[in-house]
Amino acid sequence: MGTYIIRRLLWMVPIFFIVSFGTFMLTRYAPGDPILVRAGPRADPEVIERIRHQLKLDEPIPIQYISYMTGFFTGDLGESISKYPGTPVAELVFPRIAVSAQLGFVALLMIFLLGGLIGIIAALNHGKWKDPFLISICLFFHSIPSIVGIPILLYIFVLQLHLVPASGWDGIFSLKIIIPLLVFTLPALAGPARLMRNTLLAVLDQDYIRTARSKGLTETSVIGKHALRNALLPMTTVVGLSLVSVFEGSFFIEMLYGIPGIGVLSLEAVYARDYDIIMALAQFSLILFLVFQILTDIIYTMIDPRIRLESSEE
């Protein structure tokens, strides 16, 4: 298993540098000039060039990339160029990442626990009314966009029931998390629920399941020890792939509900062409994706040792 993980890590090194360099190039060649945003459209050309030289933005792009990555690996994420001039990017990004990470982790946990549970119940009741009913409910919530869901939930929970505040953030143990968590969770249940249902139904139709039942094993033992173990493999992959999309999906919800996460900061950075903030957020998303790919591979090999054996034989 150690060799398998090391091989995966080695593959991720070039992937990291290729994607990060591509992102760096996109920020530099994107329309707009952060120096004009910082100095103002009426600034003297000499002032603009002096600021550009101070920030080393007049150097060749490969040299800029090497300088940025050198600072990145030593903990220096640079300074805000245009939106918050002179402010260290780390001071702007890390507190907001912490907020988005809390919300994203709880949302992801709820999505796959509830979605998986609904899928299991639907599969075990295949051919009964519970199966189409549960999946239809999930699809109904999936069809409601966030821009519609948030006002509806605000009307119900804030104006009618007076259970939660209208906006803001006080951590995951505050009532303020209820509305953004519901907006995150309810529309996303359909995917995991349908995946678990279809996978479990396919597994239950396998010969080894029929063999286990013919040996007199209880239904609980057949499902818990044999069927679910194999049905969890596709779910593990989807969890790993969904993590970054959960953080990306949080942008709109954070902006609507007034949560101080990376959503508002990302939008501000893009509008202001603030290179270092954009790069820091992109690097965070990339590292998050790669780390969870490794964790997914580890969980895969724990659930199904055949994956580890097949990899070692190649």
Domains assigned to the chain = 97-270 (1.10.3720.10)
Contacts of 54-58 with CB under 8 Å at 24 or more apart are 55/81
The per-residue pLDDT for range 26-65, each reduced to its tens digit, is 988 888 888 888 887 777 888 888 888 888 888 899 999 9
Average model confidence (pLDDT) across the chain: 83
pLDDT band at 248 (very low <50, low <70, confident <90, very high): low
User: Among the residues of the chain, which ranges form H helices?
Assistant: 2-29, 34-39, 45-54, 61-73, 89-124, 130-142, 146-154, 178-188, 190-204, 207-214, 219-221, 228-257, 262-272, 275-303, 305-313
pLDDT band at 221 (very low <50, low <70, confident <90, very high): confident
What's CA 300's distance to the chain center, in Å?
19
In this prediction, residue 57 carries a pLDDT of: 85
Mean pLDDT across 189-209: 89
What's CA 194's distance to the chain center, in Å?
20
More confident residue, 230 or 308: 230
pLDDT band at 309 (very low <50, low <70, confident <90, very high): very low
Q: Model pTM?
A: 0.77
d(CA 300, CA 232): 9
Amino acid identity at 190: A
pLDDT band at 253 (very low <50, low <70, confident <90, very high): confident
In this prediction, residue 249 carries a pLDDT of: 60
d(CA 187, CA 271): 29
The per-residue pLDDT for range 285-299, each reduced to its tens digit, is 888 888 877 887 777
Mean pLDDT across 14-21: 92
CA nearest neighbour of 119 among 135, 97, 101: 135
Low-confidence winner among 96-110, 119-133, 262-276, 299-313 (lowest mean pLDDT): 299-313
Mean pLDDT across 104-115: 87
